Amino acid sequence: MGVEVETNYRPIEMVQFDLAASVANWVYTNDVSATYDDYGSSGNIDTLNIYVKDLKVGNAPQTQLSFGTSFFPLEGLKAQFVVQHYRDQYADFNPFDRTDAEDTTQSWKIPDYTKLNFHLNYKLPVKVDGLDIAVFAHLFNVLDSVFIQDATDNSRYNGFDDDHDADDAEVFFGAPRTFNAGITIAF
């Protein structure tokens, strides 16, 4: 379950403030017991018990906040700064691997992180052969922050002692400062 909200406020013609928030509590609510036909090897009916009750769902931040400020200094020009904050993200894990009733430890919680992005868009005030032309540029992770964007719990490649903490997580760092620029033609 969770809640999401998005709003903006433009106190004057040249400035707009944006806010987006998503706050969730994604938790497995029950352990699962299932029977299945093992057609692949023995043809027997097997039982599978999965112990996930009260574990947080991994692989997505459960809290996301975004604050933006846009400026419109000229007609057709928009400059925007966006601060994004992510928290309450747990390392991804396969629930089918949780078959030990004693193994109820939460997967590793990734450290919270914040990044700043900058966007610039300018729609040219003239048409060329009836075409609208705009130029744009984006600068992602302006402050070149180092952060862990994703992780896998008890990684088979990097796991140390399989107790679901940081030394067992395979981590993926977020992209460093990057940019792109281009042109848009609308007809």
Are 182 and 128 in contact, with CB atoms under 8 Å apart?
no
Q: Which domain holds residue 153?
A: 2-26+60-186
CA distance from start to end of the chain: 43
In a domain, 152, yes or no: yes
In a domain, 131, yes or no: yes
Give the per-residue pLDDT at 165. Answer: 86
| pLDDT 10s digits, 39-91 | 666 667 888 899 999 999 999 999 999 999 999 999 999 999 999 999 999 99
| pLDDT 10s digits, 17-52 | 999 999 999 999 999 998 877 666 666 788 889 999
Instruction: Classify residue 184 as left (phi > 0), alpha (psi -120 to 50) or beta.
Output: beta
In a domain, 115, yes or no: yes
In a domain, 42, yes or no: no
Give the per-residue pLDDT at 41. Answer: 66
Give the per-residue pLDDT at 187. Answer: 87
Mean pLDDT of the chain: 93
In a domain, 179, yes or no: yes
Number of domains making up the chain? 1
Name 143's Cβ contacts closer than 8 Å, sequence gap at least 6. Answer: 115, 116, 177
